[in-house]
Structure 1
Amino acid sequence: MTTAEDTVLAYWDACEARDWPRVAALVADEVVYHLPQTRERIRGRSAFLRFNQEYPGDWHVTVTRVAGAGPRAATWITCTVDGADQPAVSFFDLDDAGRIAGITEFWPEPYEPPAGREHLVERYAPATPG
């Protein structure tokens, strides 16, 4: 029996390989992709595949962490677009057939922390691909 984590890792592997038929097999016909920060929603397998196929730039995905329970999984990824790293967190919901039916993805922008807590924190450099 395939777990949600296995399905999501297969999805990211297929995305990285640009194996669109494999991505299509992993997502439900009526998949819904949510991007809350830009208030965008993409409905349906065909539109979802086209969105990814037409995404500009030379992009690559590295999975940092995956966790799942039942029909849900979450990933922390680094997407490298034209040499610039951008972290993302994705939440996946699988349908009864084990296909990805919903994805909600957050693409946070780094920012400087507020002043006054320097004595409590340790700052570190951004991760480098490797």
Structure 2
Amino acid sequence: MADVEDTVMVYWHACEARDWERMGTLLADDMVYHLPQTRERIRGREAFLQFNREYPGGWHLSVTRVTGAGARAASWITVDIDGEEQPAVSFFDLDEAGRISVITEFWPEPYEPPAGREHLVERYAVAEVQPA
């Protein structure tokens, strides 16, 4: 298994570079992406890659910190979206092959998701328990 911190750093570098092919090699086929603030979940590598390809606006990110051990890591990033900086904290779980299987990402405040990604996400209730 690759070092979890290295995997997360490569993931963020691929994201910033819009290198979706490289990012795809880091993801498990059945990966799940959780956005608790908007109560959205994306299932599957292809849907997650498409979500990122279609994300609107001019954005860039910088990594502040990545820490992890075993098959789990957390990262703190700052994203500049059209001139407005927003911090985010992401938690990563890797599968036995060292691929990212779960990402749970927290943004500063709850918000309603932007229109146009309904075909890629499912909404869930606030009280729904997230998998470990």
TM range (shorter): 0.7 to 0.9
Shift of 1:2: 2.4
Identity %: 72
2:94 aligned partner: 94
- Structure 2 gap ranges (5+): 110-132
Which residue pairs with 2:124 in the alignment? none
Alignment of 1:43 with 2:62, yes or no, is no
Tell me the alpha carbon deviations over residues 16-74 of structure 1, each in whole angstroms, 9 at most, x when there is no partner: 00001000000110110000111000000110001011000011110000100100000
The aligned counterpart of 2:55 is 55
Normalising by structure 2, report the TM-score. Answer: 0.81
**SS of 2:33 mapped into structure 1:** strand
Secondary structure of the 1:12 match is helix
Partner residue of 2:66? 66
Q: Report the Cα distance in structure 2 between the residues aligned to 1:30 and 1:59, rounded to whole angstroms.
A: 27
Who is 2:7 aligned against? 7
Q: Cα distance, 1:81 vs. partner?
A: 0.7
C-alpha separation in 1, matches of 2:45 and 2:84: 28
Alpha-carbon distance between aligned partners in 2 of 1:48 and 1:28, rounded to the nearest angstrom: 11
Shift of residue 88 of structure 1? 0.2
Larger radius of gyration: 1
Q: Which amino acid aligns with 2:31?
A: V
Residues paired across the two proteins, number: 109
Q: Distance in 1 between matches of 2:105 and 2:3?
A: 20
In structure 1, the partner of 2:31 is 31
What is the one-letter code of the residue matched to 1:17?
A: A
Offset of residue 92 of structure 1: 0.1
Query: What TM-score does the superposition give when structure 1 sets the normalisation length?
Result: 0.82
Aligned to 2:85: 85
Residue 90 of structure 2 is aligned to residue 103 of structure 1: no
Cα distance, 1:83 vs structure 2: 1.1
Give the secondary structure class of the aligned counterpart of 2:57.
coil
Structure 1 gaps of 5+ residues are: 110-130
Q: Give the ranges of 4+ consecutive aligned residues of structure 1 lying more than 3 Å apart after TM superposition.
A: none
Tell me how far apart the structure 2 counterparts of residues 30 and 60 of structure 1 sit (CA, whole Å): 27
- Please report the RMSD computed on the Cα atoms of aligned residues, expressed in angstroms: 0.8
